[in-house]
Amino acid sequence: MHENNFYTEKLKQKQAILAPMAGYTDAPFRYLANSYGSAWAVTEMVSAKALVNGNLQGIEIAAAYKNEKDLVIQIYGREPELVAEAGQILFEKYQPKALDLNMGCPVKKIISKGMGSSLMQEPELAAKIVNSLVNKVNIPISVKMRLTYKDKAAASIIQGLEDAGASLIAIHARTAEQKYTGKANWQEIVKLSKLVKIPIVGSGDITSQAEFENYSKQGLGIMIARASLGKPWIFASLRGAAEPDKKEIAKICFKHAVLHCAWYQNIGLNEKQSMQKFRSKLLAYLVFLEDKSELRHIDSLDNLRQFINSYFNLEIQESDINTKPMQREL
């Protein structure tokens, strides 16, 4: 294991972790999750190949705020040298606290190229990738994988990864074949966690404080993905904080929208395009509205502000939200 114990130190605080989500865990959302106490927050997955080939889109996805707190960048790829090189580029550019290898993505486009969850069928190669990252980049390297049909195979995979130098393994408690169907099988995660010395983080279907505490007591770290969408305060709620009321939710939603537009402006999106990209996030925040038809017409921050102020009887101003401390690293 790496001598730098970012992961083990963080896990001692018993806080949930923002799981990587393509299309969602960008810098503004990671910032919000961090502000409600997520132990760390993982970026969307970044293509090692795109990065090494100088494709800027890969960098855009990983792009982080200056001095972003507790940043973990997830990489996908299958060539050990290339992934290690990508890791080095990311490390130099963003100084993440750790790098995470994606071994769980079940999407056809990724697995047909032997990456993501298909690496679980090539455990020796997966271990080689981890080892080459460990040797190249001087920060902890983790892996995020899934369950396999036979827990014996999962057992040997995680032992191989530990031997290769992984500092932590996160496991989505479903098989790749299941994608997102069925229930997450946490019993398997508990069993697997007893087979290695490095920390195991479980992921899948956690929404309540009771579940969080139950698995936390069993020594697992807990990742939250979908339950955080439109609810970044869940990281505080899981530790007993009161849920925000609807007015407060509307304010958090607006703050997210302002951060989002400021962020995407830097990569050339105008406010209208940024607000289009924000639509699914807006719906997630305001899911409780009976009539969501008005949300369809919101295409600027000012529209959103006016809608929120009139619907929730608030007086929010855009200038209430301070985006200055959050500068882009690019």
Binding site for ligand FMN (CB under 6 A): 19-24, 44-45, 74, 102, 104-105, 144, 172, 203-206, 224-227
Active-site residue, from 21, 46, 52, 105: 105
Element (H or E) spanning 38, and its range? Answer: none
Number of H helices, E strands in the chain: 14, 8
Q: Residue with CB nearest ligand FMN?
A: 225
Nearer to ligand FMN, 31 or 76 (CB): 76
Look up 253 and say whether it is catalytic.
Answer: no
- Residue 178 or 274: the one with the smaller Cβ distance to ligand FMN is 178
Taking the least distance from each CB to ligand FMN, the nearer of 94 and 307 is 94
Cβ(148)–Cβ(24) under 8 Å?
no
How distant, in Å, are the alpha carbons of 249, 256, 265 from that of 283?
Answer: 12, 13, 21
Q: What are the CA-CA distances from residue 126 to residues 108, 186, 222 (Å)? A: 19, 23, 23
Q: What is the DSSP string of 65-130?
A: BTT-TTEEEEEE-S-HHHHHHHHHHHHHHH--SEEEEEE----HHHHTTT-GGGGGG-HHHHHHHH
- Phi/psi for 103 (5° steps) reads -130, 25
**Cα–Cα distance between 156 and 177 in angstroms, integer?**
19
Kindly tell me which of 20 and 165 has the beta carbon lying closer to ligand FMN: 20
Q: How far is the CB of 310 from ligand FMN (least distance, A)?
A: 31
Give the active site residues: 105
